[in-house]
Amino acid sequence: MFDLEKAIKDWRKALNKNEALEDGYKEELECHLRDKIDYLIGLGSSEEKAFEEAARKIGGADSLGAEYFKTDTRGASGHPPWKKSRWLPPLFSNYFKIGLRKIKRQTLYSIINIAGLALGLACCAVIILYITNELSYDTFHKDADRVYRVAVHRITLVGEFWDSTTPGPLGPELVRSYPQVEQAVRIVPPFENASHVLVVQNEKRFFENRVFFVDKEIFELFHIPFLKGNPQTALTNPYTVVITEGMAVKYFGEEASLGKTLQIEIDYDTGSVEIRDFEVTGVVKNSPSNTHFKYDMLLSMPTVVSNLPSFEEDWLNYHAKYTYVKLAPYTNVADFEEQIQKVAKKCAQIYSERFNRKLDLFEFFLQPVTKIHMYSHNLGEMETPGNWYYLYIYSIIAFLILLIGCLNFINLSTALSTTRTKEVGLRKVVGAQRRQLIWQFLGESFLITILAFIIALGLTSLLLFPFNQMAGTELSLAGLRQPVVLLSLLGLLFIVSIGSGVYPALILTAFNPVSVIQGKVAPTSRGAIVQKFLVVGQFAVSIFLVICTLTVFKQLNFMKGRALGFNLEQKLILRVKSNLNHLRRDYEAIKKDFLQNPSITGATVSSSVPGDRTNSGYYLTSRPGDLTNAPRLKVITADYDFIPEYGIKMVAGRPFQQDVGNDENEAYMINLAGVKELGFSSPEEALGKSFMAHYHGMTKRIIGVTDNFHYRGMKEIVEPLLLDIEPSLLNTITLSVRAENINELMRFIRTKWDEHFPGVPFEYSFLDENFDREYRYEEQMGRMLGIITTLGFIIACLGLFGLAAFVARNRTKEIGIRKVLGASTANIVAMLSKKFILLVLISVIIASPLAWYSMNTWLQDFAYRIHMNLFVFFVCAAGALAIALATVCIQGIRAAVANPANSLRNE
């Protein structure tokens, strides 16, 4: 007998199978079923048949349930399935929240972690900015690729030279005779040894040393933006000057400077010095730091011509002139270079006719202006050229710092993530798929890495201030805007975030959730070896840097104090720029006056002091009146005290002496290089030989030969030199001082100065400081290395600190138990530190030979170098160990001192 109610009840029960069918739905469906059955029965069907048909019509529980399910569940995006989520991948907001929460919870470690990476990035960024700046010299001029400097390559008796300077008439000649030359300009520094030019404006008197004579077309070649005045006409007339805005403020303050006058004193090498009014016809922006031609004032070339009419015709005038040309587009540079050799030949011919001596080689060559700073190492460069070697070194260092920072970050992130095995297990249990977890972890590390990058950006701009001070540069964040840099930063971002996320993402998520939650998987079991590698790596790099830095410093100190061939300690240099007649007449009396002060142990006057780029020279001939074939020697005129005061060694004969004969009128000294230049085969042979100098027409005998002393500094070869007692060229006083009380001494000197040279600006310098400027790049490198090494070390220590803290925390229970069992603090600290100390030792062992090898290679470049001794290595190793020990111990002590009851309570 068919039981309708029972059938319906069974049918209802069948609906229960599908969980998606809620009670309400089931009731509604049952209602429908009954209505249908009633209807069919009303049509005459039997109960059984009615039920069957009705049930069939409604459909199965599964398909119904599926439909309801689709409606009821929301996708991971929070939207019903028919509404696709917009652009955020699913669960992104969740990951973001979790990421932030994670950071908040592990604040200390996160801060250390992020700080380390940010610091490393910032250092790297600063170095990169510096490098790109160095490589960008002179690229900002309009059409810079068409601007070249003409330089000279010549071979004489003394050797082969490349000169940056060229004869005066060359510029105009090139424009006249060669259609490829759109424009040629000359830049002429002030004459003679006047590296300083006196500039006066009312009460303001200063010596300026970035003053040049220039042709008015210079603004077509070099990008010199005008703030006031007209570039076309500014330097057309004689006695006009264009100044930078810095100079305008210095001399005129807030007032407008255009049209006002400055009084400038120039010595045109004619023997007399005069001070004249120059009208300010233009104000330009300050010269940027990334150019080899740095200027403060530009004087008009017609000024020179009106004072030295022969300037435009004299092909032999030795005074430094820099000639630049701008070539027409599509000019074949090689062809042009060949064509101008015609002019070179003419030059050489004039020279050989005048001196009856043929030059072995004299040719012009072209240097692209953009390559001057980094590639040109001629004589007479406008400023110290850049150095590829150091750029390479800096790049390597930047890379190393970056490496330390990133390794550190990855290491610590990985370590931190090992505590999250339980979290992973739980997520898996509630249904997270492995893919989702991988994205989660990668997303978190991405977030943290971005944070570090942003902080690094801020740090970089902070670091740039002191760096610019130190290096004399003007770096700014704008330099990072180049596409290459941005792309590599982006790439780095990805690499670091993936690197720091790969362990948790791939390895952690693979664990079986059940066993993890049950605690069967120890958090630190995997990846410990990788961690150890990373710690060793960081420390090895840091120690390497420290050793190198110390070695560089030692070498620098050595070079400075090295036998330059003369004493440069404690030498105070006073330049007499005006009122020279008094000096030249009465220098003995002036010296005596200074020597009254017991702190001044010696005094001498000369035409230049060691380190000056002196160009003065005599043509010497053994046949009076006949200057054909006359060799030219550089000259320093001096007094009797010059040789003893500077401690210059003699190799033959004797120095100037007051009481022996008439040295003033009859004696010369030459140096060892001069011996060969004059054609003698040995110093002894030169003694007693007479020469007439073109300068004063007097014939004197060589009475002594000095050793080659580096009167032009360590980097230049020692050229032939003549020493003469000739007052008319004197302009410098050297005082040997023994400074106990510098202030008092300076006051005394100042007083005496004002007595003897009233109105002349008092400018002094110490000779050893002047020489330090020679080593600008080495000094810079030393300082940079020092700073970077310190920072690199800090980063490594931060990493170690974080890691040690982390490890200690993981072992708190163990420590608690040991304490309870009677271990002392010392025992515990030792136990914790042992592993780390071992790692640091390994770093030392790895770093030392590498450092030794690198430094040895670097030192080969120096003719005079220190010997590397093991002392440096021991100091570094000991230092590194001590710092590492301290770092780890702090953590150890913290852990050891904790109350064991607290740590054990969490069971």
Partner 1 sequence: MAASTKPMILAILANREIYGYQIIQSVIEISGGTLEWSEGMLYPVLHRLEKENFIQSQWKMSENGRRRKYYRLTESGKKELEKERKQWLSVHKVLSRLWDPLPAFD
Q: Which two tokens stand for residue 25?
A: 């739905």
Minimum distance from residue 498 beta carbon to partner 1 (Å): 41
From 9, 13, 16, 59, residue interacting with partner 1 (rule: CB under 8 A): 59
Tokens 């030692």 -> residue = 554
Closest CA to 573 of 731, 682, 706, 421: 731
Q: How far is CA 107 from the centre of its chain?
A: 34
Minimum distance from residue 60 beta carbon to partner 1 (Å): 8
For 546, how many CA atoms within 13 A lie in the half-sphere containing its CB? 27
State which residue, 70 or 696, has the beta carbon closest to partner 1: 70
Determine, following the binding rule CB under 8 A, whether residue 35 of this chain makes contact with partner 1: yes
Measured distance CA(454)–CA(485) in Å, rounded: 15
State which residue, 24 or 598, has the beta carbon closest to partner 1: 24
Minimum distance from residue 80 beta carbon to partner 1 (Å): 7
571-575 and 690-693 beta bridge pairing:
unpaired
Phi, psi of 441 (to 5 degrees): -65, -40
Angle (nearest 5°) at CA 605 between 600 and 611: 95
Beta strand ranges found along 460-568 (DSSP E): none
Close Cβ partners of 689 (under 8 Å, ≥ 6 residues apart): 622, 678, 680, 701, 702
Determine, following the binding rule CB under 8 A, whether residue 357 of this chain makes contact with partner 1: no
Determine, following the binding rule CB under 8 A, whether residue 206 of this chain makes contact with partner 1: no
Q: Which two tokens stand for residue 579?
A: 């009122």
Q: How far are the Cα atoms of 519, 524, 600 from residue 764, in angstroms, in the given order?
A: 77, 66, 15
Minimum distance from residue 16 beta carbon to partner 1 (Å): 15
Stretch that binds partner 1, among 64-72, 97-105, 387-395, 891-899 (CB under 8 A): 64-72
State which residue, 53 or 779, has the beta carbon closest to partner 1: 53
297-300 and 240-244 beta bridge pairing:
antiparallel
Angle of helix 434-471 versus helix 388-417 axis, rounded to 10: 150
Q: What number of residues does the chain have?
A: 907
Other C-beta atoms closer than 10 Å to the C-beta of 870 total: 10
Residue type, 532: K
From 64, 304, 398, 705, residue interacting with partner 1 (rule: CB under 8 A): 64
Cβ(191)–Cβ(319) below 8 Å: yes
Determine, following the binding rule CB under 8 A, whether residue 4 of this chain makes contact with partner 1: no
From 9, 13, 17, 57, residue interacting with partner 1 (rule: CB under 8 A): 57
From 4, 7, 12, 25, residue interacting with partner 1 (rule: CB under 8 A): 25
State which residue, 70 or 649, has the beta carbon closest to partner 1: 70
Tokens 């993890």 -> residue = 516
Measured distance CA(475)–CA(467) in Å, rounded: 8
Determine, following the binding rule CB under 8 A, whether residue 13 of this chain makes contact with partner 1: no
From 16, 46, 71, 482, residue interacting with partner 1 (rule: CB under 8 A): 71
Q: Which two tokens stand for residue 154?
A: 């010549």
Close Cβ partners of 575 (under 8 Å, ≥ 6 residues apart): 196, 207, 731, 732, 763, 764
Considering only residues 442 to 501 of the shown chain, the ones binding partner 1 according to CB under 8 A are none
Stretch that binds partner 1, among 58-66, 284-292, 349-357, 691-699 (CB under 8 A): 58-66
State which residue, 3 or 28, has the beta carbon closest to partner 1: 28
In the 8-state DSSP scheme, what is residue 189?
A: P
Determine, following the binding rule CB under 8 A, whether residue 34 of this chain makes contact with partner 1: yes
Determine, following the binding rule CB under 8 A, whether residue 36 of this chain makes contact with partner 1: yes
Closest CA to 538 of 744, 847, 311, 81: 847
Determine, following the binding rule CB under 8 A, whether residue 62 of this chain makes contact with partner 1: no
Other C-beta atoms closer than 10 Å to the C-beta of 660 total: 10
In the 8-state DSSP scheme, what is residue 720?
A: -
Q: Which two tokens stand for residue 468?
A: 């610019």
Determine, following the binding rule CB under 8 A, whether residue 63 of this chain makes contact with partner 1: yes
State which residue, 64 or 121, has the beta carbon closest to partner 1: 64
Q: How far are the Cα atoms of 6, 31, 35, 65, 138 from residue 22, in angstroms, in the given order?
A: 21, 14, 20, 9, 79
Helices (H) and strands (E) in the chain, counts: 31, 24
Determine, following the binding rule CB under 8 A, whether residue 70 of this chain makes contact with partner 1: yes
Minimum distance from residue 94 beta carbon to partner 1 (Å): 24
From 9, 13, 17, 32, residue interacting with partner 1 (rule: CB under 8 A): 32
Q: Which two tokens stand for residue 138?
A: 């002179």
Stretch that binds partner 1, among 56-64, 285-293, 305-313, 839-847 (CB under 8 A): 56-64
Contact pattern from residue 168 through residue 197 relative to partner 1, giving x for each residue in contact according to CB under 8 A and a dash for the rest: ------------------------------
Stretch that binds partner 1, among 20-28, 42-50, 714-722, 755-763 (CB under 8 A): 20-28
From 10, 13, 16, 28, residue interacting with partner 1 (rule: CB under 8 A): 28
State which residue, 71 or 515, has the beta carbon closest to partner 1: 71
Minimum distance from residue 488 beta carbon to partner 1 (Å): 50
Determine, following the binding rule CB under 8 A, whether residue 10 of this chain makes contact with partner 1: no
Phi, psi of 93 (to 5 degrees): -65, -35
From 80, 159, 253, 647, residue interacting with partner 1 (rule: CB under 8 A): 80
Q: How far is CA 877 from the centre of its chain?
A: 28
Secondary-structure breakdown of the chain: helix, strand, coil percentages, each rounded to the nearest 5: 55, 15, 30
Q: Which two tokens stand for residue 526?
A: 């995997």
Stretch that binds partner 1, among 67-75, 191-199, 325-333, 496-504 (CB under 8 A): 67-75
Minimum distance from residue 41 beta carbon to partner 1 (Å): 14
In the 8-state DSSP scheme, what is residue 712?
A: T
From 2, 13, 31, 902, residue interacting with partner 1 (rule: CB under 8 A): 31
Minimum distance from residue 52 beta carbon to partner 1 (Å): 14
How many residues at the interface with partner 1, by CB under 8 A? 21
Minimum distance from residue 519 beta carbon to partner 1 (Å): 44
Stretch that binds partner 1, among 60-68, 181-189, 355-363, 495-503 (CB under 8 A): 60-68
Q: How far are the Cα atoms of 226, 264, 407, 446, 498 from residue 502, in angstroms, in the given order?
A: 56, 69, 13, 11, 6
Stretch that binds partner 1, among 62-70, 343-351, 492-500, 669-677 (CB under 8 A): 62-70
In the 8-state DSSP scheme, what is residue 161?
A: E
Stretch that binds partner 1, among 31-39, 462-470, 614-622, 817-825 (CB under 8 A): 31-39
Determine, following the binding rule CB under 8 A, whether residue 67 of this chain makes contact with partner 1: yes
Minimum distance from residue 3 beta carbon to partner 1 (Å): 19
Minimum distance from residue 1 beta carbon to partner 1 (Å): 24
Other C-beta atoms closer than 10 Å to the C-beta of 568 total: 21
Minimum distance from residue 76 beta carbon to partner 1 (Å): 18
Phi, psi of 88 (to 5 degrees): -75, 135
Minimum distance from residue 28 beta carbon to partner 1 (Å): 5
State which residue, 24 or 431, has the beta carbon closest to partner 1: 24
Determine, following the binding rule CB under 8 A, whether residue 27 of this chain makes contact with partner 1: yes
Phi, psi of 266 (to 5 degrees): -125, 140
Stretch that binds partner 1, among 19-27, 190-198, 357-365, 388-396 (CB under 8 A): 19-27
Stretch that binds partner 1, among 57-65, 259-267, 337-345, 841-849 (CB under 8 A): 57-65
Determine, following the binding rule CB under 8 A, whether residue 358 of this chain makes contact with partner 1: no
Minimum distance from residue 59 beta carbon to partner 1 (Å): 3
Tokens 């006949």 -> residue = 626
Minimum distance from residue 9 beta carbon to partner 1 (Å): 16
Angle (nearest 5°) at CA 110 between 105 and 115: 155
State which residue, 30 or 685, has the beta carbon closest to partner 1: 30
Query: Bridge partners of 147?
Result: 326
- Given the rule CB under 8 A, which residues bind partner 1? 24-25, 27-29, 31-32, 34-36, 57-59, 63-64, 67-68, 70-72, 80
